Amino acid sequence: MNAEGMTGAVSDLAALSTRLLLHLGSDKANLALSPLSFHSVLVLLAAGATGDTLDQIVSFLGPSGGAAHASLASHVASGILAGEKGAEPDVRCAVGVWVESSFRLRPAFADKVASQYKAAARAMPFQEKADEARVEINRWFEDKTGGLMRDLMPEGHLNSDTILVLGNALYLRGTWLDPFDPDDTADSDFFLPGPGEISSTTRVPFMTSTNPQRISCHPGFKVLQLPYQCSGSNHHLSMHIYLPDERDGLQALVRELSSSDTARFLDRCAPAARAVKVGDLRIPKFKASFKIEASGLLKDLGLERPFRFSYDFAEMVDCCSEPLAVGKVLHECVVEVDEDGTMAAAATEADVVMGCSLEGEEPEAVDFVADHPFLFLVREDRSGIVLFAGQIVNPLL
């Protein structure tokens, strides 16, 4: 993929991140999701689609075009974010395809799945033993996410109408370049959302440090960049924490981010490589988990054609002359942050069924006290690829 194509697809992925956050976020709940995992499954659907359905998926992914997004997904599946065995951080991406055992993938789609996305199709007895197939596919997701994604698909999720399941699993284990000392972690107040103004607090453990940090200050918010150790890889990943100045400013910050050129906004707001002195630095330990049946979400955002029965997926599976549609899309994500670093995983699954037819100045010393709701992103800093995104409104939830 040429540099321009990569840049365009990565920019579209950043924009998708903020669209998802804006649509799903509120001031009432923690949120964690993986735009990259969503992207992988949508690109797989596009690889087997034609007609209006293909056009709408490509349009939904963004203006850089279908070829650029296919190339980005292919590079990620091929290990673009991974390093050598034992490298830091540990990033793994896996793509899975399962087809009803009485059918076969059409040759062109099977070739794309194998050559571009490194996934061998597996036969599954959906028509005769749908629940056994569900259990086996769930084991695959669990294995590929270090045990963090268990029972992604609930009992009854698959049935005899299922002919194809597409899945992506994403896993990250990263150690901070500058870990926090657990002996310095101490409980303090975190301000919670309430009616009108933030009106209550809860005691949570905060990680602290007096070491210089990468922080940038902007009108209305600050950004803290926490890099992960990097060895055996040319990639540099970091968690970026966006902290609004106002205790109830999270939703306004998300709206500002989503109304701009997101990728350029993120790049412009990223702290300089030179760390600055800190005064009071406090970051809560947290675990954010989120699970959604996302077909309604995608429809609300304008992607509705794949969920309507048509012959636009006829190039996927050799299954007589029945029209096909995406039935459900499941997405689950977990992000855990502590003194050592981050453990994160995401899984996205789509099943296909048959049917009847800013600029800122850095002061001498900076406080960064994340004691109220904030936004976080995990990015590969050189390319700008967003792996995980979310918000924390209560670290104890």
* Own/partner long-range contacts of 153-157 (Cβ < 8 Å, ≥24 apart): 153/330, 153/349, 155/131, 156/131, 157/328, 157/330, 157/351
Q: What is the pTM of this model?
A: 0.94
Are 199 and 246 in contact by the 8 Å Cβ rule? The answer is no
Strand-strand pairing, 365-369 and 186-192: unpaired
| Cβ burial 332-366 (10 Å sphere, 16+ → b, else e) | bbbbbbbbebbbbbbbbbbbbbbeeeeebeeeeeb
Report the C-alpha gap between 168 and 155 in whole angstroms.
20
- Tell me the C-alpha to C-alpha distance, in Å, between residue 39 and each of 45, 76, 106, 116: 10, 11, 22, 14
Angle of CA points 314, 58, 355, to nearest 5°: 30
Are 388 and 91 in contact by the 8 Å Cβ rule? The answer is no
Cis peptide before 89 (omega within 30 of 0): yes
Are 281 and 368 in contact by the 8 Å Cβ rule? The answer is yes
Report the C-alpha gap between 315 and 184 in whole angstroms.
58
Report the C-alpha gap between 126 and 159 in whole angstroms.
6
Report the C-alpha gap between 237 and 211 in whole angstroms.
20
Report the C-alpha gap between 343 and 7 in whole angstroms.
27
- The pLDDT, as a whole number, for residue 362 is 46
- The pLDDT, as a whole number, for residue 322 is 83
Domains of the chain: 3-174+287-354 (3.30.497.10), 182-284+359-392 (2.30.39.10)
Are 325 and 355 in contact by the 8 Å Cβ rule? The answer is yes
pLDDT in tens, the chain (397 residues): 455 667 899 999 999 999 999 999 877 789 999 999 999 999 999 999 999 999 999 999 999 999 999 999 999 998 888 777 778 899 999 999 999 999 999 999 999 999 999 988 999 999 999 999 999 999 999 999 999 999 999 999 999 999 999 999 999 999 999 999 999 999 999 999 876 555 699 999 999 999 999 999 999 999 999 999 998 777 789 999 999 999 999 999 999 988 888 999 999 999 988 899 999 999 999 999 999 999 999 999 999 999 999 999 999 998 767 899 999 999 999 999 999 999 999 999 999 998 654 444 445 689 999 999 999 999 999 999 999 999 999 998 8
Token representation of residue 393: 């409104």
Report the C-alpha gap between 21 and 255 in whole angstroms.
9
Token representation of residue 225: 């960049």
- The pLDDT, as a whole number, for residue 194 is 75
**Per-residue three-class SS string for 251-305:** HHHHHHHHCCCHHHHHHHHCCCCCCEEEEEEEEECEEEEEEEECHHHHHHCCCCH
Report the C-alpha gap between 4 and 136 in whole angstroms.
40
